[in-house]
Homo-oligomer: A and B are copies of this chain.
Amino acid sequence: MKNYQLKRLPGILLFAAATIMFLAGPLAADEGMWTLDNMPLKQLKEKYGFEPSPAWLEHIRLASVRVGDGGSGSFVSPSGLVLTNHHVALGQLQKVSTPQKNYVADGFYAPTLADEIPCPDLELNVLISMENVTARVLASVKKGMGPAKALEAKKAAIAEIERLSLKKTGLRSDVVSLYQGGEYWLYRYKKYTDVKLVFAPEQQAAFYGGDPDNFTYPRHDLDMAIFRAYEKGKPAKVAHYLKWSANGAADGELVFVSGHPGSTNRLMTLAQIEFQRDLSYPTRIQSLKRSLNTLRQYASRGPEEARQAAGMIFGMENGLKVSSGEYDGLKAAGIIEKKAVQEAEFRKLVAANPEWQAEYGSAWDDIAKAIEAQKTRMKELSYRRVPGIRLGGIALQVVQMAAELQKPDGQRLDGFHTSQLESLRFRLFSPAPVYPRLEEVMAVDSMKLMIEMLGADDPYVKACLDNKTPEEAAKALLAGTQLADPRLHKQLVDGGPSAVAKSTDSFIVLARKLDPLVRELNKWKEDSIESVTRPAGEKIGQARFAAYGKNAYPDATFTLRLSYGAVKGYPMNGTLAPYKTTFYGLYDRAISFDNKFPFHLPKRVAYARDKIDLSTPLNFVCTGDIIGGNSGSPVVNAAGELVGLVFDGNVESFIGRFFYDDTANRTVSVCSQAMIEAMNKIYGAEALAKEILGEK
């Protein structure tokens, strides 16, 4: 479950209509990514005979961790140990690796605190409190305001709420729009930025089966990594952490997944879904294929190039598999038809009530019209890229940040509000390495793509090329920049607009030219599209409340959610997929492919064959409803014990972005028993296993 990685791909303007969607219709079994204030207690009690208490929910919430800008995790010891996925930790593993010490390929284990490695830019967030601020946000909208003004007013109100909360509590404070703006909640987070790496297996053990096995099941991955949160230079003392289950989950058992699903589109309108199918996905898939091809060529130059590109390749293969899977799902027989029936029923219900019809009835057609408008600038929205991997994006952020900080909070671009600055600075000033050759190759590629798709006369493309060929332009950009040094980022931001204006750094010069074009396109999108689709989405959300009540969950927003379901196999490929796999299956798969890439066993795993109890459960599936961003989520049983670690969904879950159907949609997790067995028998990490099991 890694499609959050998509978000990280710099230079790609991802077009996600995700946040304005909402769920309609009666709930299927085990469906839902629930906010913790609105758990389906009745359904749980009826179906599973278990009703989580407020204290139980609070404990799970405070033991849950949001990891970086796209993953999940959990505290698993009173001394700040955080369990997440290897693929969530991958960026940090790369950043702390060197040509001499490749922790991605070889794994890592710190037997003592002194051996733990500080992470350059990993932020952990724990959701401390949740407050409904809907009334305060909506009060900012005055009668007679047009849609654009209303949107602006709400944005300003949200920024103000966040600013005041930060000032008052010192906590990271985010206002979250739920139910398409049906509700606004203030979420406050305790933040950890002093985080160290404790343990990671080899990537080949964590991501066993590679791209082919990714998003499939039966599976045999040790997709785990362990960090430790520090406070004031010492291991953080955490009151709420998950006890580790030595027995794991049984067939049919009720389990919960606590994590941060990134985005879903469960209540896109028919027009939006068709837009996704006909334009968004084909564009995205084509772009990803192209970038991936370029990256693979770069990686084939040698081992060091391969190491540099590994994380990006991983992310893109992953993104491509997700996008292709979702796209195939949308094209599958009956899916769009199902959506059409659902929407027709909902609209009929609304139309039957004259008051509702007057208030909400136009929303669907408004969205359809906005989508038509969007198509007029689709190419610019899809293909204007900041050249390179990291440097172009950094330059643009530096330029924009210097300007935005001059403005009152409420008028700033999204991403530069006061409450967001600390995390932004943390990322922007990170000492993570830059690979100039790789930057250059990718810059050439993105400029060539822009010429193809937008033409050499597009002002944005002209700015990038600067009257050169893509190859010359990229070479010049890389030759004329010092931005690989993060101290420069800080100097420029601190120096403000005048420092930025004076800079002769090639990437800053380019970013100064691109900035107005980016702002213009963003502004156009906001005024022409979002100012229509957001309020229309809100209306649909409100219609949903009116017609069905609040017995539903909002679309995913990368905020804490609890899913539930049963540990359960499913019908697959003519037979049954079992609820779990074992270490036997890992060795079977390796030998079945004659130990060839990507099914080869890492040496330590191969050597440990006779030490491991091969019948130990390795991975398992449950019906819990998840999506990208849930990676690293703990799976807990009714006793609140950790029985597993979410790392993926199966292929049948791709369509879950749009529809949930528990026939075959499954969450794939590492078994708690497998992690202990591996730490003890493969990696010599007995001390860590003891700490986790509370045996220290």
- What residues make up the interface of A, taking CB atoms closer than 8 Å to B? 209, 212-216, 218, 251, 321, 325, 333, 569, 572-576, 578-582, 584-585, 587-589, 591-594, 599, 614-615, 650-651
How far is B571's CA from A216's CA once the two chains are assembled, in angstroms?
12
Q: Which residues of B contact A215 (CB under 8 A)?
A: 574
Known contacts A251-B594, A574-B215; decide if A585 and B588 are in contact (CB<8 Å).
Answer: yes
Q: Which residues of B contact A578 (CB under 8 A)?
A: 589, 592-593, 599
Enumerate the 3 nearest inter-chain pairs by beta-carbon distance, A residue then B residue, closest first.
Answer: A578-B592, A574-B651, A584-B588
| Identity of the chain B residue whose Cβ is nearest the Cβ of A599 in the assembled complex | B578
Q: Which residues of B contact A573 (CB under 8 A)?
A: 216, 572-573, 651
When the two chains form the complex, which single residue of B584, B587, B591 contacts A591, counting CB atoms closer than 8 Å? B584
A-B contact pairs, 10 of them (CB 8 A): A212-B576, A321-B574, A574-B650, A578-B589, A578-B592, A578-B593, A579-B593, A584-B614, A585-B588, A591-B615
Most chain B CB inside 10 Å of its own CB: which residue of A325, A581, A592, A599 = A592
Question: When the two chains form their complex, are residues B572 and A587 in contact, meaning their CB atoms are under 8 A apart?
Answer: no
Q: Which residues of B contact A574 (CB under 8 A)?
A: 215-216, 321, 325, 650-651
Q: Report A671 CB to chain B, min CB distance, Å.
A: 11
Question: When the two chains form their complex, are residues A582 and B588 in contact, meaning their CB atoms are under 8 A apart?
Answer: yes
| Identity of the chain B residue whose Cβ is nearest the Cβ of A589 in the assembled complex | B578
How far is B333's CA from A218's CA once the two chains are assembled, in angstroms?
27
When the two chains form the complex, which single residue of B214, B218, B587 contacts A592, counting CB atoms closer than 8 Å? B218
Q: Which residues of B contact A651 (CB under 8 A)?
A: 573-574
| Identity of the chain B residue whose Cβ is nearest the Cβ of A578 in the assembled complex | B592
Question: When the two chains form their complex, are residues B581 and A592 in contact, meaning their CB atoms are under 8 A apart?
Answer: yes
Question: When the two chains form their complex, are residues B216 and A575 in contact, meaning their CB atoms are under 8 A apart?
Answer: yes
How far is B573's CA from A212's CA once the two chains are assembled, in angstroms?
10
Copies of the protein in its oligomer: 2
How far is B574's CA from A325's CA once the two chains are assembled, in angstroms?
9
Q: Report A321 CB to chain B, min CB distance, Å.
A: 8
How far is B576's CA from A651's CA once the two chains are assembled, in angstroms?
13
Q: Report A250 CB to chain B, min CB distance, Å.
A: 9
Q: Which residues of B contact A615 (CB under 8 A)?
A: 587, 591
How far is B325's CA from A333's CA once the two chains are assembled, in angstroms?
18
| Identity of the chain B residue whose Cβ is nearest the Cβ of A572 in the assembled complex | B573
Q: Report A85 CB to chain B, min CB distance, Å.
A: 19
Q: Which residues of B contact A614 (CB under 8 A)?
A: 584, 587
Q: Report A496 CB to chain B, min CB distance, Å.
A: 51
How far is B218's CA from A589's CA once the two chains are assembled, in angstroms?
10
Question: When the two chains form their complex, are residues B575 and A212 in contact, meaning their CB atoms are under 8 A apart?
Answer: yes
Question: When the two chains form their complex, are residues B580 and A592 in contact, meaning their CB atoms are under 8 A apart?
Answer: yes
Q: Report A577 CB to chain B, min CB distance, Å.
A: 9
Q: Which residues of B contact A592 (CB under 8 A)?
A: 218, 578-582, 585
| Identity of the chain B residue whose Cβ is nearest the Cβ of A251 in the assembled complex | B594
Q: Which residues of B contact A569 (CB under 8 A)?
A: 593
| Identity of the chain B residue whose Cβ is nearest the Cβ of A580 in the assembled complex | B592
Q: Report A80 CB to chain B, min CB distance, Å.
A: 35
Q: Which residues of B contact A212 (CB under 8 A)?
A: 575-576
Q: Which residues of B contact A214 (CB under 8 A)?
A: 575
How far is B575's CA from A321's CA once the two chains are assembled, in angstroms?
11
How far is B580's CA from A599's CA once the two chains are assembled, in angstroms?
13
Q: Report A575 CB to chain B, min CB distance, Å.
A: 4
Q: Which residues of B contact A581 (CB under 8 A)?
A: 588, 592
How far is B321's CA from A615's CA once the two chains are assembled, in angstroms?
31
| Identity of the chain B residue whose Cβ is nearest the Cβ of A594 in the assembled complex | B251
How far is B321's CA from A587's CA once the two chains are assembled, in angstroms?
31
When the two chains form the complex, which single residue of B209, B588, B594 contacts A588, counting CB atoms closer than 8 Å? B588
How far is B581's CA from A581's CA once the two chains are assembled, in angstroms?
15
How far is B569's CA from A651's CA once the two chains are assembled, in angstroms?
19
Known contacts A582-B588, A582-B591, A591-B582; decide if A575 and B251 are in contact (CB<8 Å).
Answer: no
Q: Which residues of B contact A209 (CB under 8 A)?
A: 575
Contacts A578-B599, A579-B593 known; 5 new A-B pairs at CB < 8 A: A212-B576, A215-B574, A582-B592, A584-B591, A585-B592
Q: Which residues of B contact A587 (CB under 8 A)?
A: 582, 584, 614-615
